[in-house]
Amino acid sequence: MKLLLNIWRQPSASAPGRFVRYTVTGIPPSHSLLEALDVLNQNLLAAGETPVAFESDCREGICGACGVVVGGRAHGGRALTTSCELRVSAFADGAELTIEPFRAKAFPVLRDLVVDRSALDRVIGAGGYVSVRTGSAPEANVTPIAKPIVEQALDAAACIGCGACVAACPNASAALFVGAKITHLALLPQGRVERKSRAAALVAAADREGFGACTAHGECQAACPKGIELGVITRMNRELLHAAE
Amino acid sequence: MSAAVASRSAVPAPPSEPVVLDARLPGATSLAEAWQNRKQELQLVTRARRRGQTVLVVGSGLAGAAAAATLSELGYRVICLCFQDSPRRAHSVAAQGGINACKNYQNDGDSVERLFKDTLKGGDYRSREANVYRLAELSVAIIDQCVAQGVPFAREYAGHLSNRSFGGALVSRTFYARGLTGQQLLLGAYQALSKEVASGGVQLLARHEVLELILHDGRARGVVARDLVTGEQKALIAEAVVLATGGYANVFHHSTNAMGSNATAIVRAYEQGAAFANPSFVQFHPTCVPPGGQPEGKLLLMSEALRNDGRVWVPRAPGDARRPEQIPEAERDYYLERLYPRYGNLSPRDVASRAAKARCDQGCGVGPTGRGVYLDLCLAVRREGVGKLEERYGNVLEMYRRATGEDPLETPMRIYPGAHYSMGGLWVDYELMSTVPGLFVIGEANFSDHGANRLGASALLQGLSDGYFILPLTASSYLASHAFGALPASASGVRDALDRARQRTERLLSVRGQRGALDFHAELGALLWDGCGLCRNAAGLEHALGRVRQLRDAFWQELRVPGAAGELNQELERAGRVADFLELGELMCRDALAREESAGCHFREEHQTAAGEGQRDDAHFAHVSAWFHTGRGTAPRLVREPLGFQSVVLAERNYR
């Protein structure tokens, strides 16, 4: 296959960036888009040019490291698909694609397609945990948890922290990410004790980091490669209300 | 480099002086009491004194995050580094299946003793009894800890924890969270770590890669790390260093490991005096999606459960390029059913992997590269219908469709073995300390618990038991028993390490050849696959050894790294990692050559039974092979740690 790629090139956080057009040919249709970028980078390297910096690690959709905007859609806009799982066969032979980094005030570009998402870690640090010391846990089966509840908690806990929800949102809100963590822990008895302080702290931290507010566009849900649904934002708001009581 | 040698600790000893490895094993006590007794002997100090001591933890996977969080809870100052942009991305995240623990919730007769024996047998009796016993013992507390953190393990309808069965066990003891067990356990540890980062107990340095170990008075006192964004190389000083850097299966280029998984920290530590144990012990997984000509070596792992319903075959005639549907039944070779009639398609991992390689080596492999065999679910579809198989394997089938664009219920899947997990790693004693005092190694990065082959669902277990429950106590004891002076930045150990790191980076950038690092990595992987992979023999290993050396010479003459040191430079990162894989590749070949037996993953063709199974030689090889670096260009020195067994009489491995 052949692809025409308009890729955002930016040498460093402080330098200005621009789109550069590349033609990549001979890509097997079974390749992922990131593997097409690997091919491009090998070509650039052979030509003495600087390869395109982009992130990926597990290449199986679970680590959350990869994330680019393809044709204006975070992770390329295919349902339940991370950038590393996106096949080039999803596009027409000879298609022209724009590839740019996840853009948000809270995600400064570091180089080319690489952004700084450490704001998400700081949000979790504000209270996205159960405060239990190593060694102080009771016997695991002491507290039964209804199967549907634990499954619902896992649906939310499956978030991979990629930041696509932020990149897809017109407000660059992290509400889906924050709501997922609040939901995961609020549903479980182990997380209930701290639920009020957690909800307030996580939302405040997200505001502090420069993420926008949620105005219920729903773009985040469409972009989420793990199928996390808007219901987690509803729960976040409910938990916030409880916190205010 | 000579300055580094001068400041090195007591190991390696000069050739005349025999090195004796002291594993600090529990001695004559019963295995059941060993760890309890040891805990009573470990030294403690006041919380006030802990606040003045720094522990550096390299890596943020299950082992690293658990250790960093727990040490901080104890009051130590902790610095935790990871090369990823967030600790939550460490490769533990990708483990799917589950974690073993002998809770005996199923009342099916499980016990510490049984998990211990299953793990010891799974490792083909090349692991330490006392370590394995402790692993089994701690499994129980790990489940409690994770549940308390909010890990959403699968539950039964009444709300109690559910279990599934896994290979190598007759009891049901594997805890799981769908196919996301590793992710959920890692998030538990990551969240515990995040709590400590926010409280100020842990200084988190994401996007930092360790390049050198700092030694002072023969002790590990810190590392030199490179900030992967700015390129700055800085000395980080501590009273103890913990390496939790994961495995090195990526040395084979094609592996199930993440793109960034690397051996740099452990190879650096090896060159500074830490012995490397059983480097040739790497587990291969038979059901990976075969490489399809991608430049990168990442292999996608398919669940082994598919072999319950799939039949494995290749065309009988070499070079048969027809589509699988066009090949009539009579022209197919269902080789596992033919060669191993009792186990058939469910033959053990290593047997199935070797058989697949043998077919492909004969030219019968399928797919664009000829490196693949069919795993055919079509018969099962005809028998049970699409619905049943979707229900059973839905997400795995979907993964395969995404990866290949083919529907495995219509066209046979293509699978191929891939490097998956390294049982070998830095040598550690019972307290998880390497041969360099103050340098601890935990999780997959050490060699300790899995012998020559790891049991399914025990990797997560080992990472967490090392990180939560062993290392925090043993490192504390080490810190309590020594007085540490301040280590100024001007000390020779610090300056030497900074110099070594800087010189190495400059050297990588100054070759200015024509070949990218990826090219060398792919060539190294291919030659190790041929010579030191699933099947090994003396001639092949000798050949591979020579070729690794040639390749390393070529690397330092022909390498091309674009850009500069002082910027985000992914090619520079890659080049450094490949350089270390080249060192490790040589060591693996030497280790495989020296072990003149077959054990677990290590199959020496010279040592097999008439039925084609590996043959251990307990009289001569019931030991850990620990390799000491003796300098560049000189042969490493092999020191053997004998393995004694009180729980079992060693028996030949037997699947029949």
Helix, strand or coil for residue B491?
coil
**Percentage, residues of chain A above pLDDT 90:** 96
Residue B652 binned pLDDT confidence (cut-offs 50, 70, 90): low
> CB contact, 8 Å: B195 with chain A?
yes
Task: For residues B115 and B127, give the distance between their C-alpha atoms in angstroms, rounded to a whole number.
Answer: 14
- How high is the pLDDT of residue B401? 87
Round to whole Å and give the CA distance between B640 and B549. 25
Contact B99, B176 (CB under 8 A): yes
Token readout for B461 is 């277990």
Q: Does B386 touch chain A (CB under 8 A)?
A: no
pLDDT at B654 over 80: no
Confidence of residue B306 (pLDDT cuts 50, 70, 90): confident
Instruction: Report pLDDT for B293.
Output: 80
A244 burial (CB, 10 Å; 0-12 / 13-18 / 19+) is exposed
Question: Is B149–A134 a contact, with Cβ atoms under 8 angstroms apart?
Answer: no
Q: Which residues pair with B235 in a beta bridge?
A: B224
Interchain contact A131–B (C-beta under 8 A): yes
Look at B419 and B6; give whichever has higher pLDDT: B419
Residues of A with CB below 8 A from B160's CB? 141, 144
Per-residue pLDDT band for A113 (boundaries 50, 70, 90) equals very high
B509 touches chain A (CB under 8 A): no
Domains of chain A: 3-114 (3.10.20.30), 118-244 (1.10.1060.10)
- Summarised one tens digit per residue, pLDDT across range B310-352 is 999 999 999 999 999 999 999 999 999 998 888 788 887 788 8
Q: Does B405 touch chain A (CB under 8 A)?
A: yes
pLDDT tens figures, A127-153: 999 999 999 999 999 999 999 999 999
- The arithmetic mean of pLDDT across residues A219-229, rounded, is 98
Selection from A32, A151, A24 nearest residue A81 by Cα: A32
Which residue from A49, A130, A141 is facing B148, i.e. has the nearest CB? A130
**B611 falls in which pLDDT band (50, 70, 90)?**
confident
- Strand-pair category, B208-216 with B219-227: antiparallel
Q: What is the pLDDT of residues A33-90, one digit of tens each?
A: 999 999 999 999 999 999 999 999 999 999 999 999 999 999 999 999 999 999 999 9
Q: Of B149, B178, B256, B470, which to mutate for an interface test with A (greatest number of A Cβ within 10 Å)?
A: B149
For the stretch B69-79, pLDDT in tens is 999 999 999 99
Average pLDDT over residues B423-448: 98
Kindly report the backbone phi and psi dihedral angles of residue B286, in degrees, each rounded to the nearest multiple of 5, phi listed first. -75, -20
Q: What percent of chain A has pLDDT over 70?
A: 100
Q: Cβ of B335: how many Cβ atoms within 10 Å?
A: 19
> In this complex, is the C-beta atom of B459 within 8 Å of any C-beta atom belonging to chain A?
no
Mean pLDDT for the stretch of residues B56-64: 98
Q: Give per-residue pLDDT as tens, B489-503.
A: 999 999 999 999 999
**Cross-chain residue pair A138–B259, CB shorter than 8 Å:** no
Taking an 8 Å cut-off on Cβ atoms, the answer to whether B516 and A31 are in contact is: no
Measured between CA atoms, the residue of chain A closest to residue B177 is: A154
- pLDDT for position B395: 76
ipTM over 0.90: yes
Measure the CA–CA gap between B571 and B564, rounded to whole angstroms: 10
Quickly count: other Cβ atoms within 10 Å of residue B484's Cβ: 17
pLDDT, tens digit, for every residue of B219-269? 999 999 999 999 999 999 999 999 999 999 999 999 999 999 999 999 999
Do B594 and B560 contact (CB within 8 A), yes or no?
Answer: no
Q: Copy the structure tokens of residue B356.
A: 């697949």
Is A12's Cβ below 8 Å from some Cβ in B? Answer: yes
**CB A180, CB A162: distance < 8 Å:** no
The model carries a pTM of 0.96
Question: Mind listing the pLDDT tens digit for each residue in B353-406?
Answer: 999 999 999 999 999 889 999 999 998 999 999 998 887 787 788 888 888 888
B128 vs B344, more confident: B128
* Chain B residues close to A133, C-beta within 8 Å: 73
In this prediction, residues A201-227 reach a mean pLDDT of 98
Q: Domains of chain B (ranges plus CATH)?
A: 288-417 (3.90.700.10), 492-615 (1.20.58.100)
What secondary structure letter does DSSP report for B631?
-
CB pairs under 8 A between A and B: 211
Average pLDDT, rounded, for chain B: 93
Test A58 with B399 for CB contact under 8 angstroms.
Answer: no
Give the pLDDT band (50/70/90) at residue B13.
very low
pLDDT of A192 > 70? The answer is yes
pLDDT, residue A15, reads: 97
Cβ-nearest to A58 among B85, B93, B229: B93
pLDDT of residue A76: 97
pLDDT value for A136: 96
| Rounded CA separation B134/B140 (Å) | 11
Residue of A nearest to B396 (CA): A60
User: What is the mean predicted confidence (pLDDT) over B429-455?
Assistant: 96
String of DSSP letters for B106-128: T-SS--HHHHHHHHHHHTTT-S-
Give the closest of B144, B150, B192 to A188, CB-based.
B150
Tokens of B502: 């800087």
- Phi, psi dihedrals of residue B433, rounded to the nearest 5°: -100, 140
Of A62, A125, A153, the CB nearest to B183: A62
Asked if B84 and A139 come within 8 Å (Cβ–Cβ), the reply is no
- Using CA atoms, how far apart are residues A55 and A64, in angstroms rounded to an integer? 9
Residue B281 pLDDT greater than 90, yes or no: yes
**In the prediction, which pLDDT does B653 show?**
55
B177 vs A contacts (CB less than 8 Å): 154
**Beta bridge partners of residue B375, listed in sequence order:** B312, B413
pLDDT at B304: 77
pLDDT at residue number B96: 85
Q: How far is CA B208 from the centre of its chain?
A: 21
Closest CA to A234 of A192, A163, A179, A160: A179
**Which tens digit of pLDDT belongs to each residue from B159-202?**
999 998 877 778 999 999 988 999 999 999 999 999 999 999 99
Q: Is the pLDDT of residue B10 over 60?
A: no
